Amino acid sequence: MTHHLPRRDAFKLAGGALAGAWLLTGCGGSGGGSSAIDYWGAFPTPETEEYFRTHFIDTFNESSERQVKMTTKQLTNLASQTDTAVSSGNAPDIIYSPGPTTTVSYAQGNRTIPLDDYADQYGWNDRLLPWAQQLSRVEDAMQSVPTSYGSLVMYYNRAVFEENGWTPPTTKAEFEALCEDADSKGIIPVGAGNSGYPAQSEWYLSCVLNAAVGPQNLYEILTGDRDWNDAAVVDALETMKSQIDKGWWGGGAERWFTNTDPDMCTGIANGDVAMYMSGTWSFSSMGTFFTDSGNDPQDWDWAPLPSLAEGVEPGVFPMAIGTALSISSDSSDPDTAAAFLDHLVGDTSRSLGYLAEQGENPPPVAYGADDFPEGIDPRAQRLYEEIPASDNIGYASWTFLPPQTNTALYTEFDGVITGDMSPSAYADFLKTSFEQELGAGGLPTPFTPQ
């Protein structure tokens, strides 16, 4: 089984922005009558670790007869150590997954237990947003609890937009007009690049596919009712390729493989890049790029993705699960493990406090304006108010694609960038890979478009 760190953590470890992220996993010794359930955590900073320990671990242990024991580990080792532990029968009580694909694999291998009774007991079905609840099911049984989520948006500099008379585009025509104007002024229209982290390309591909193909068509592709080489997919890829050739994305093909995510975030801050389509994991760090380059950190902002094709509604939010937690089938105390899972997702003030203080993505539940603590960044609050209210939500590739097809999505796209592979041949390659994995089973269950 191949594992990847969640996108924000892999980027951080590759020298990217100080994106907030927390991952939970365990290794070894959940059985044997231990007095505590085992749990490993890994954090981007000591401050984030201390905050989590104080507000999640300590508060649970103070209210429970059974305890949670957390040991801090390195981010780079979590996924592989989890897989080794699960495969060897030494799984922790709570099993971490970076997304639904891994959860499905563990569930189909009988490594985790169904959570439907606990979901009824704790009301998870009522708390979780419908798409997240559906995604947590494997063969009609709830197998995981998603504890963090985010999306993909378009970042921009408000001061630069005002100076140039721009507004965030909502249609393909508006997007292309802004790109043409920015290019004429020597500004890179759309940030892009994958130096140091090849999977970065799938951020941009997820944005384009959701904005140009649309959630309904993507759902049909993910369920096998439509092919990956569908005309809508090929058209979107051909358009993106032509825009890369114009230099609209990252300054062109030659710069794609040297640009980094920090380069593009700094470009937004300095006005060298007009727009940047990336993940909401950058909310906690975007201001740093503005401050470090001598610009006002209040000037960064975000907008939902524009529509990039006729018939696709603007403002799609591609959904991405950052952390999904399951209970090991070998756990000596699944009741306590379930109680701890509820502790992570069942208290709105605790989850939003973590978002406000450490920039950590909250669980996928509905939040009202009165739920957010005083002092939270209004840009983060706006995101987590708008997504639950939206009926235009889509699919991030690393959350909804099976592993081999997801890897091919960004590795094979290098050939499209360089011109060694045509967009149609690339789509054919994805079709073949996906059909093979679809036939083998074990795919995440995509939510039905809302």
Helices 215-222 & 201-212 angle (0-180, nearest 10): 110
Residues 6 or more apart from 82 whose CB is under 8 A from it? Answer: 3, 25, 26, 27, 91, 95, 96, 97
DSSP string, 120-133: HHHTHHHHB-HHHH
CB under 8 A, 24+ apart: contacts of 377-386? 377/283, 379/283, 379/300, 379/301, 379/302, 380/283, 380/355, 380/356, 383/151, 383/153, 383/280, 383/283, 383/302, 384/352, 384/355, 386/304, 386/317
Residues 6 or more apart from 359 whose CB is under 8 A from it? Answer: 19, 20, 283, 284, 285, 380
Q: Which domain holds residue 435?
A: 151-318+393-440
For residues 222 and 134, what is the distance between their CA atoms, to the nearest angstrom?
14
For residues 21 and 6, what is the distance between their CA atoms, to the nearest angstrom?
9
- Looking at the structure, tell me whether residues 397 and 330 fall in a common domain: no
Q: Any idea what the Cα angle at residue 202 is, between residues 306 and 394, rounded to 5°? A: 45
- Looking at the structure, tell me whether residues 59 and 127 fall in a common domain: yes
- Looking at the structure, tell me whether residues 267 and 204 fall in a common domain: yes
% helix, strand, coil for the chain, step of 5: 50, 15, 35
Q: Are the C-beta atoms of 336 and 20 separated by less than 8 Å?
A: no
Residues 6 or more apart from 276 whose CB is under 8 A from it? Answer: 154, 155, 156, 190, 191, 264, 265, 267, 268
Residues 6 or more apart from 307 whose CB is under 8 A from it? Answer: 170, 171, 172, 211, 212, 313, 314, 315, 316
Token pair in block for residue 228: 């990956």
The CATH number of residue 355's host domain is: 3.40.190.10
Closest Cα to residue 281, out of 99, 148, 161? 148
How, if at all, do strands 188-190 and 273-279 pair?
parallel
**How many structural domains does the chain have?**
2
In a domain? residue 450: no
Three-state DSSP class for residue 149: strand
Which residue shows structure tokens 């049909």? Answer: 220
- Looking at the structure, tell me whether residues 83 and 95 fall in a common domain: yes
- Looking at the structure, tell me whether residues 155 and 144 fall in a common domain: no
Closest Cα to residue 198, out of 412, 425, 437? 412
Backbone angles phi, psi at 97, to 5 degrees: -135, 140
- Looking at the structure, tell me whether residues 336 and 430 fall in a common domain: no
- Looking at the structure, tell me whether residues 309 and 329 fall in a common domain: no
- Looking at the structure, tell me whether residues 352 and 219 fall in a common domain: no
Closest Cα to residue 364, out of 280, 292, 271, 282? 280
Please give the pLDDT value at position 194.
96
Please give the pLDDT value at position 330.
93
In a domain? residue 229: yes
DSSP string, 254-303: HHHTT--HHHHHHHHHHTSEEEEEEEGGGGGTHHHHHHHTTS-GGGEEEE
Q: If you average pLDDT over every residue of the chain, what do you get? A: 90
Query: pLDDT tens-digit profile of 24-34?
Result: 333 333 333 45
Alpha helices per DSSP H over 271-396 = 286-292, 334-345, 348-358, 378-389
- Looking at the structure, tell me whether residues 290 and 427 fall in a common domain: yes
Asked if pLDDT for residue 450 goes beyond 80, the answer is no
In a domain? residue 23: no
Which residue shows structure tokens 């706006």? Answer: 382
In a domain? residue 1: no
Helices 231-245 & 215-222 angle (0-180, nearest 10): 120
Q: Are the C-beta atoms of 315 and 170 separated by less than 8 Å?
A: yes
- Looking at the structure, tell me whether residues 178 and 292 fall in a common domain: yes
Choosing from 350, 367, 388, the residue where a domain stops is 388
Choosing from 346, 373, 388, the residue where a domain stops is 388
Query: pLDDT tens-digit profile of 334-366?
Result: 999 999 999 999 999 999 999 999 988 999 999
125-136 burial code (b ≥16 CB/10 A, e <16) = eebbbebbbebb
Query: pLDDT tens-digit profile of 50-91?
Result: 999 999 999 999 999 999 998 787 766 776 788 899 999 998
Tell me, what DSSP letter sits at residue 362? P
- Looking at the structure, tell me whether residues 174 and 209 fall in a common domain: yes
Q: Which of 11-15, 234-238, 268-272, 299-303 has the lowest mean pLDDT?
A: 11-15
Asked if pLDDT for residue 140 goes beyond 50, the answer is yes
In a domain? residue 30: no
Query: pLDDT tens-digit profile of 190-222?
Result: 999 999 889 999 999 999 999 999 999 999 999
In a domain? residue 405: yes
Query: pLDDT tens-digit profile of 388-442?
Result: 999 999 999 999 999 899 999 999 999 999 999 999 999 999 999 999 999 988 7
In a domain? residue 21: no
Q: How many CB atoms lie within 10 A of CB 432?
A: 12
Query: pLDDT tens-digit profile of 274-295?
Result: 999 999 999 989 999 999 999 9
Choosing from 368, 388, 408, the residue where a domain stops is 388
- Looking at the structure, tell me whether residues 266 and 400 fall in a common domain: yes
Please give the pLDDT value at position 29.
38
In a domain? residue 308: yes
Beta-carbon-side half-sphere exposure of residue 242 (alpha carbons within 13 Å) = 8
